[in-house]
Structure 1
Amino acid sequence: MSWLEVLVLGVVQGLTEFLPISSSAHLRIISGVFFGNDPGAAFTAVSQLGTEAAVIVYFARDLWKLIVTWIRGLTNAEVRAEPEYRIAWLVIVGTIPIGVLGIVFKHSIETAARNLWVIATTMVLFGLLLGVAERVGRQRIELNQMKWADGVVLGFAQALALIPGVSRSGGTITAGLFLGLTRPAAVRYSFLLAIPAVVAAGLFTIPDIAKADGVTGPQMIVATLIAFGVGYVVITWLLQYVQKHSVYVFVWYRLALGVLLAVALGAGWIAAV
């Protein structure tokens, strides 16, 4: 892998990880179209450590309160009535589906699911679902009003992001809007829910990067640091954007990219694998 590709993919990872447009799909598409290869699921997972580090830094105060409240609530019944205690458990419960399914379908995720025809299809399909969710969602429920059932549903929605093109944040935000969450609540929860899953996936696949051909340790570190810096800026922007704007801009972007990719594949301009 060239240093130019490393720099480009680091920026792409930071730009797309938190937007509902699928970072894994963009890494796969850009590498395939402009560099003639697939960076691999391991590269994607490890570079995501940079963007998740940005989430941890940005939400450090919130995360600390969640962790402390959860620990206190294990032995103090009064603390269990606090919203932070329930939210912490919702994040834990919501992480289980992606952890289990990620292990069970690890081989398919790293091979068949990275086919560009699959990505083109998921970009369009889940773009349409996001648009419908924005249109019909009641958007009345705040983060501290979420129920246990919401956490389970959102956990399985996040697990769909194991398929490139779905989008981790996109799946969670879509399901959240369908459940009646406000846009800011759905986006904020998608950030919190991603932390344990992405960090675990990144650490788990570091050995795979060490075995991969063409990717050096310094290149991986640089890509991760770039993803961190760009990702932090995107977090700040997105949380402000969804306060006053719909997510339709992301819907139209997904549809346009998915259709364009399908046309390019059908015309033989790029290879599917």
Structure 2
Amino acid sequence: MAGACTEGIDTGFVALGYAKVAFLGIVQGITELLPISSTAHMRIVPAMLGWQDPGSAFSASIQLAALAAVVSYFWRDVKGLTLGTLGAVMRRDFNDRTFRFGLGIIIGTIPIGIAGLLLEKHLNACGSPLRALWVIGVACIVMGALLALAELLARHERHVGDAGMLDFIIVGIAQVGALIPGVSRSGSTLTAALFRDFEREEAARFSFLLGLPTIFLAGAKELWTLYKAGIDGYAWSVLFVGVFIASISAFVAIWGLLRILERFSSWPFVIYRIVLGLILLAGAGLGWLS
């Protein structure tokens, strides 16, 4: 079903109403932080249920729920990193380990920031070709294959504390892939971190910490975009319901991801991604997903 446009921005989520958006908030919250692509699920779930596409602006702004979940789950890490970095700046101790980690996060965020600005007109446009089902399906399969390769080649021996500037640059560049629907920000950064030989749980932790500025900036930008588009109070209330529900499910998703990586490795996500990609391609090709 076709989406809705407000000032050229896809605002299909408004027509879905509270109950449907709450359901999609659960799906978005879980899939946002798992390496399985929230965008893919925001396309396939509404399509299978006969609902309209909620739009990429909904998916991006609701990332603030993921931000709340990551900060609360890794509060000790976030607090230590923030206070340690500020303390090092005040002491002018630029060789401080915590300061260098914070600087690495900033540097690792630059590539996706630049790419996001360059692709801004195409990411949230109504009927954007980037949200075509076949594009998302191919991206799911390709990232599934890369994650499998990383799982096979990685030595799983490094910790977050070992991260150097090259790690932040490589994983930061990999994060740019998140702009392509179906790739998954957590999936691309987790895969890159595994290629850098981080332990599975440490790779996920690295992915979450590096993603904090990106998640915040993307969510804040979309809120501003929706504000400029002039959506009404009802639309804001629908969006708030989605963000609130998604924050709860995202917290559960972090816990689940770390347990799965600890017990089963990343292979369940590899299989899931490839199967999901094939379903999307088949659905698009045969016409039973629109």
**SS of residue paired to 2:289:** coil
Q: How does 1:185-264 map to 2 (within 5 A)?
A: 185-210=202-227, 211=229, 216-264=235-283
Aligned to 2:186: 169
Residue 35 of structure 1 and its aligned partner are, at CA, apart by 3.6
Following superposition, the deviation at residue 213 of structure 1 comes to 6.9
Task: Tell me if structure 1 keeps the 8 A contact 2:18–2:241.
Answer: no
Check conservation: 1:13, 1:51, Cα contact below 8 A: no
The residue identity in structure 1 corresponding to 2:270 is: V
Cα shift at 1:78: 5.3
Query: 2:94, 2:100 within 8 Å by CA — same for their partners in 1?
Result: no
Answer yes or no: is the 8 Å Cα contact 1:46–1:203 preserved in 2: yes
AA of the residue aligned to 2:33: F
Gaps of 5+ in 1: none
Quote how far apart the aligned CAs of 1:208 are: 3.2
TM-fit CA distance, 1:81: 3.5
Sequence identity, in percent?
37
- Superimposed CA distance per residue, residues 161-209 of structure 1 (whole angstroms, 9 cap, x where no aligned partner): 1111001010001111111111111100111111111111111111333
* Contact 1:73–1:85 (Cα < 8 Å) also in 2: yes
**Structure 2 stretches lacking a partner, 5+ long:** 1-15
4+ residue runs over 6 A deviation? 212-215
| Equivalent residue, structure 2, for 1:116 | 133
Match for residue 28 of structure 1 among 43, 46, 52 = 43
- 2:87 corresponding residue in structure 1: 72
Aligned counterparts, 1:103-182, within 5 A = 103-110=117-124, 111-182=128-199
The code of the aligned residue for 1:216 comes to A
Amino acid at match of 2:145: L
Q: Which amino acid aligns with 1:180?
A: D
CA distance in 2, matches of 1:266, 1:78: 58
TM-score (norm: length of structure 2): 0.88
What root-mean-square deviation, in Å, do the aligned CA atoms of Structure 1 and Structure 2 show?
1.8
Per the TM alignment, residue 104 of structure 1 is displaced from its structure 2 partner at its CA by 0.6
TM-score, scaled relative to structure 1: 0.93
**Which amino acid letter does the alignment assign opposite residue 251 of structure 1?**
V
C-alpha distance after superposition, 1:141-160 (max 9, x if no partner): 11111111110010011111
CA distance in 2, matches of 1:79, 1:200: 25
SS of equivalent to 2:288: coil
Are the counterparts in 2 of residues 72 and 79 from structure 1 also a CA contact under 8 Å? no
